[in-house]
Amino acid sequence: MKKTCFLLVVFMALLSLSGCATVSNTSEGLGKGVSEDLKNTCNNVKRFDAWLRDKAW
């Protein structure tokens, strides 16, 4: 019985947050942040590779 009540409370909390602007903005910001981080990491790896080729070869 306690498990059912707990699951019901969690479901109701998730349902009430589903239309919340904070949740949607957070997920949107997270997506943008991940794409920027990936782009920056890729550029840093390329820059390091060029530096390594210049210094080591």
The verdict on residue 40 lying in a domain is: yes
- Per DSSP, the residues of 28-54 read HHHHHHHHHHHHHHHHHHHHHHHHHHH
Domain count, the chain: 1
Q: Which domain holds residue 50?
A: 31-57
φ and ψ at residue 18, rounded to 5 degrees: -65, -30
pLDDT at residue 11 greater than cutoff 80: yes
CA–CA dist 35, 43 (Å, integer): 12
pTM, 2 dp: 0.47
How many of the other CB atoms lie within 10 Å of CB of 33? 10
Cα–chain-centroid distance for residue 17?
Answer: 18
User: What is Dmax (Cα atoms) for the chain?
Assistant: 70
**Tens-place pLDDT, residues 13-57:** 776 766 666 666 777 887 888 888 888 898 899 999 999 999 887
The verdict on residue 6 lying in a domain is: no
How confident is the model at residue 19, as a pLDDT?
62
How confident is the model at residue 46, as a pLDDT?
92
The verdict on residue 21 lying in a domain is: no
How confident is the model at residue 27, as a pLDDT?
76
The verdict on residue 43 lying in a domain is: yes
